[in-house]
Homo-oligomer: A and B are copies of this chain.
Amino acid sequence: MRHAEGSCLIRCGDTHVLCSASLEERVPPFLRNSGQGWVTAEYGMLPRATHTRGRREAAAGKQSGRTQEIQRLIGRALRAGVDRQALGERQITVDCDVIQADGGTRCASITGGWVALRLAVNKLLKSGDLITDPIVDHIAAVSCGIYAGQAVLDLDYAEDSEAGTDSNFVMTGNRTMIEVQASAEGAAFSRGQFEEMFSLAEKGVAELVATQTAAIA
């Protein structure tokens, strides 16, 4: 995207998310004169990103509970990888717009959003507006599920619809945890099954971090 300070189109199978990072030299009211910056995220989906057309949220007059839940998650996740003191009193807004959806859009948004954020911060470092790098580590996310009794990584829409459990793991580049979410969609899951998903996620995030590194370079 020509205008954004940083941007990235992430494709995970048929899930395509366009991520952009926009820099503003102001912070939310609660941070004014605090010397700290802010990173926030917004999430949207084109009406025909999905199998059947969904209602445009702007026309509906509000963001759904699901949208708000997702963008709060993306914002929390990206902030966890930033030293807000080092960022200084500026705000970076990461917009994640799903162009095409096939499962796992929130994880793709976090992983791609981090790349957009990284590129925007690189620009600030290059221009000398920032001396110390405020980004402390990679942030990446994967989804897992229990499909046909088995823990599997990164379900597509068809698998996801039938999966008994849906989970998301957000981690840093050195595999500490930022956010862990698992939800039984059908049958409850055992602690053992949860641990299997956890281990798969650790491997998945390692691959994503490598891909992020390649994308930045």
- A contact residues vs B (CB 8 Å cutoff): 1-4, 7, 14, 18, 20, 22, 24, 42, 44, 46-53, 56-63, 65-69, 71-72, 76, 80, 93, 95, 97, 99-100, 167, 171-172, 176-184, 188-191, 194, 198, 202
Question: Which of chain B's residues have a CB closer than 8 A to the CB of A191?
Answer: 177, 198, 202
Indicate if the CB atoms of B184 and A181 lie closer than 8 Å.
Answer: no
Instruction: Tell me which residues across on chain B come within 8 A of A189, comparing CB atoms.
Output: 176-177
Supposing A48-B95, A69-B68 touch, asked if A100 and B1 sit within 8 A by C-beta, the answer is yes
B180 contacts A182, C-beta separation under 8 Å:
yes
Q: How far is the CA of A207 from the CA of B77 in the complex (A)?
A: 33
Contacts A22-B47, A22-B52, A177-B189 given; 20 further ones with Cβ under 8 A? Answer: A1-B99, A3-B49, A3-B51, A20-B47, A44-B46, A48-B95, A53-B93, A53-B95, A56-B58, A56-B95, A61-B62, A68-B69, A167-B180, A172-B188, A176-B184, A177-B194, A178-B188, A179-B182, A179-B183, A191-B198
- Given A184-B178, A188-B176, decide whether A72 and B63 contact each other with a Cβ distance below 8 A: no
One of B58, B172, B194 near A180 (C-beta < 8 A): B194
Bound complex: CA of A57 vs CA of B59, how far in Å? 8
A44 — which chain B residues lie within 8 A by C-beta?
A: 46, 56, 58
Closest B residue, CB atoms, query A189: B177
How many copies, total? Answer: 6
Q: What's the Cα separation between A24 and B52 when bound, in Å?
A: 9
**For residue A24, which residues in chain B have a CB less than 8 angstroms away from its CB?**
53
Would you call A80 and B1 a contact (CB within 8 A)? no
Residues A80 and B184 in contact, CB atoms below 8 Å apart:
yes
A52 to chain B, nearest CB (A): 8
| Alpha-carbon separation in the docked complex, A189 to B99 (Å) | 33
CB pair B56 A100 closer than 8 Å: no
- Bound: A65/B42 CA distance, A: 13
Give the docked Cα–Cα distance between A167 and B67 (Å): 21
Residues of B within 8 Å of A60, CB to CB, are 58
Known pairs A65-B69, A67-B58, A68-B68; A18 contacts B194 (CB<8 A): no
